[in-house]
């Protein structure tokens, strides 16, 4: 079973308190977007309803982050003063001074925010996208066949982890990933707020302090943007022929303001390229080894969260490929 928040091969694996707390935080954030601010602020003040859950979840998750920061501070100290070899990660690089950040700013509060944002950006977004990808591929065997054919052409008989060069050659797989994010973006909406009066590119005048909700999910399903076949899972819409070699397929350029799964302009996701590398690496390794068959009558619907999760996970039958 591919569960709601990621992948595991056994449903008997225990749940982690900090992971459950993180899920509650994401759900309550959506709740805050759906009710007047006075409602959730009152609940927070008296400690009831969803805000009570939020407070308990924050206490649990903050305890988890404090332990991470404590351990990483020790690792950074060992690395810096004792030249101990430790596993490099972004937080250790920050603490050891390798990231070029002023050490005077590295308070526990600052580091807590850094770790929290890294988890928000990378923990569930990739897992959610891959869940929808495997479901769409399982429901579209013609796409699966083309992906497998491309993987065989790029990797040959090699079954080890693909190299960066090989990942860059997986054009059709890249198109399938883009098509997945068009239909089921990991972040289905974006919330903005104007500081002062302005005029939107559409010509609509807005006042200062105006909330604007952009539905990335809806944009990916608009006929005027994607054409009459917007419902079709069609990786080909992201592929074109090379400018110098008509036999070479390349990923088409699609403006970020049309495909806004990673936002656009100054707010473009910094981890966009890393996300595609991770998704393509996982997908190529899994699809070459296993075939997924979605269990009949298993409901596949989005969950109510700030991220595009599957409400009931993805229940599949897994078989080895011959």
Residue pair 119/62 in contact (Cβ under 8 Å)? The answer is: no
* Collapsed DSSP state (helix, strand, coil) of residue 31: helix
From the list 183, 188, 217, 261, the residue with the least C-alpha distance to 29 is: 188
Residue pair 317/292 in contact (Cβ under 8 Å)? The answer is: yes
Residue pair 306/26 in contact (Cβ under 8 Å)? The answer is: yes
Is 34 labelled as part of a ligand binding site?
no
Alpha carbon distance 275, 46 (integer Å): 40
What torsion, rounded to 10 degrees, do the Cα atoms 78, 66, 7, 55 define?
-170
CA of residue 149 relative to chain centroid, distance: 26
Beta bridge partners, 177, equal none
| Binding site residue list for heme | 269
């Amino acid at each position: 079973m591919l569960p709601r928040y990621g992948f595991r091969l056994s449903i008997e694996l225990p749940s982690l308190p900090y992971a459950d707390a993180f899920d509650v935080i994401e759900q309550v954030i959506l709740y805050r977007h759906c009710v007047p601010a006075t409602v959730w602020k009152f609940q927070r003040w008296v400690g009831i309803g969803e805000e009570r859950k939020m407070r308990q979840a924050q206490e649990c998750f903050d305890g988890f982050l404090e332990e991470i920061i404590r351990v990483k501070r020790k690792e950074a100290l060992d690395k810096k003063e004792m030249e101990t070899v430790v596993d490099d990660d972004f937080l250790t690089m920050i603490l050891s001074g390798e990231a070029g950040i002023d050490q005077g700013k590295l308070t526990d509060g600052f580091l807590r925010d850094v770790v929290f944002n890294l988890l928000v950006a990378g923990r569930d977004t990739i897992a959610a996208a891959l869940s929808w990808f495997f479901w769409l591929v399982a429901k579209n065997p013609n796409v699966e066949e083309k992906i497998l054919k491309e993987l065989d052409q790029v990797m040959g008989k090699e079954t080890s982890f693909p190299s960066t060069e090989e990942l860059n050659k997986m054009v059709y797989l890249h198109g399938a990933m883009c098509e997945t994010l068009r239909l089921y973006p990991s972040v289905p909406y974006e919330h903005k707020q104007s500081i002062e009066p302005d005029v939107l590119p559409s010509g609509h005048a807005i006042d200062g302090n105006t909330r604007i909700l952009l539905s990335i999910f809806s944009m990916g399903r608009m006929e005027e943007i994607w054409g009459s076949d917007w419902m079709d899972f069609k990786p080909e819409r992201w592929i074109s022929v090379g400018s110098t070699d008509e036999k070479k397929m390349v990923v088409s350029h699609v403006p970020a303001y049309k495909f806004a799964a990673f936002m656009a302009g100054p707010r473009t996701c910094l981890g966009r390229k890393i996300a595609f590398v991770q998704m393509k690496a996982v997908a190529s390794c899994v699809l070459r080894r296993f075939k997924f068959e979605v269990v009949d009558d298993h409901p596949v619907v989005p969950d109510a969260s700030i991220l595009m999760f599957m409400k009931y996970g993805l229940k599949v039958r897994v078989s080895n490929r011959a």
